[in-house]
Structure 1
């Protein structure tokens, strides 16, 4: 809940059922980000009748009487100049709702709430592949599938998926590979015919708590690249209030993240180009990360993997 909400109102909100809090949060969202609210907005979103929507709006007004007013010309509620959101709206969820809809739409239909544009996804997994993978993660089961990799070509595998990962350009699954006896990343679009192995017990060594790279959290300090012509813009772009962006990332994902954001990880910030807006102040923080070689400019302090080509499984 937002810190500006009066203590009495916040205590009341905390006691409400989850469904009712969600309806009030939706009212708050529309006022804050769209600047208007109709009774039909609430009724349509939650499948309630007009009378129930009216009660929800009335309850919101009771909690924050000075935050909205009715525009009688078109029967629309609008935020007042005194409006302050009653809920903390997570940025990623807000942007997803505005660009793809707040749970509206079926199938491939997207109903953005404001005009927007986002990158076209060039690599999207088939739902017939994704569904068995997510069922295996949720139920703690192993999968049998065919997998094609750069190094091994097409092979039959048994894997124990532990998590989905989006590295910014594609989706993959983190899983224990019974063929290679270790945890690996498997690209969803390279899988064929995944089948749950209902009667194959998952061993202790195959569980998520045994994946060292997944459980190790690396703390990275990023600063404007010393060669960037306008470091003050970099600080604005990344919300650096003290000139430093501190990021926590799993060791298993660190290389992907640093490559996705083209962060110079060379020890002497030697990479050239305006695309390198950020520099990793301590490349040694990546030492031991399995995919550190993906990070732009990274040099293994022991020379292992030096000049290693970037490949995918």
Structure 2
């Protein structure tokens, strides 16, 4: 379906509120099999009349998508084609947390969902300070606890937040060590934005070689796995290869998270590691300390 963002009744572009309501109607019809005026009233806090107009607007924009049943529920027809471009991640966020598609009426999961929680959730005040520094392009003075150095004060220039699904960290230039490093947010005891501290070009993300370097990984079913066809189905790899781009700074985290055998001879247990990195040399020079089974090649 060609998605129109123009109100057919006025010829004017749809405003943000209208687009959110239309996306919600599309979402409810597509993923729940029906939408009512009450759904819009509850979700957006609008009057029944405004809800009726929103549904009429959707029908005009996506003719043939909905049909009204005797229970006054608008059901998707057999010819239904999504009007809105739904992303899988946003749909899953909505289903599991009620966190998408506008409005403020729904809290919590929309369908029964179970997902593991992150083990190391950052302190809100620390997260706020780091976020401000990133957004405002400022340096940050932190009290940080590391495994090697213990507790100490450090000046850093953070530019991105990264999650490895277990904990959050900030990618930043460390003025003490004169290099780009990852700082675990839970290990920051205090943080102060340095408003008057000038950021030098070599402290910016563009100078972080490991962050700027993009590696194209080719993951294949583990050669020793007894059901290669199942692995191909799991990862949507009809040609037998799952291709994904990753930053060199994050590649070790990701390969560990995805349980990818990175050994050159695929020697790890295929019952645990369903995927194998087809070309281990592709991650040479990246942050590979966490990559399972990776062996640093010897240089002659």
Q: TM-score, normalised to structure 1's length?
A: 0.89
2:206 & 2:46 partners in 1: Cα distance?
43
User: Counterpart of 1:165?
Assistant: 162
2:13 & 2:86 partners in 1: Cα distance?
19
Relative to structure 1, the CA distance from residue 282 to residue 92 in structure 2 (aligned partners, 3 Å threshold; closer, same or farther) is: same
Equivalent residue for 1:226, pick from 223, 243, 259: 223
Equivalent residues in 2 for 1:137-286 (5 A)?
Answer: 137-286=134-283
The secondary structure found in structure 2 opposite 1:247 is strand
Whether 1:10 and 2:4 are equivalent positions in the alignment is: yes
The secondary structure found in structure 1 opposite 2:218 is strand
1:113 & 1:272 partners in 2: Cα distance?
38
1:182 & 1:110 partners in 2: Cα distance?
42
- CA shift at 1:16, angstroms? 2.5
Whether 1:53 and 2:18 are equivalent positions in the alignment is: no
- CA shift at 1:47, angstroms? 3.1
Ranges of 4+ aligned residues in structure 1 off by more than 4 Å:
103-106
The secondary structure found in structure 2 opposite 1:218 is strand
5+ residue gaps, structure 1: 304-313
- CA shift at 1:68, angstroms? 1.1
Residues 219 and 242 of structure 2 are in contact (CA less than 8 Å); yes or no, is this contact kept in structure 1? yes
Aligned residues: 294
User: Counterpart of 1:306?
Assistant: none
User: Counterpart of 1:310?
Assistant: none
User: Counterpart of 1:296?
Assistant: 292
1:285 & 1:263 partners in 2: Cα distance?
14
TM-superposition CA deviations, 1:70-100 (whole Å, max 9, x none) = 2222x22111222111122111111011000
Whether 1:33 and 2:27 are equivalent positions in the alignment is: no
1:191 & 1:268 partners in 2: Cα distance?
40
1:180 & 1:276 partners in 2: Cα distance?
36
Relative to structure 1, the CA distance from residue 12 to residue 110 in structure 2 (aligned partners, 3 Å threshold; closer, same or farther) is: closer
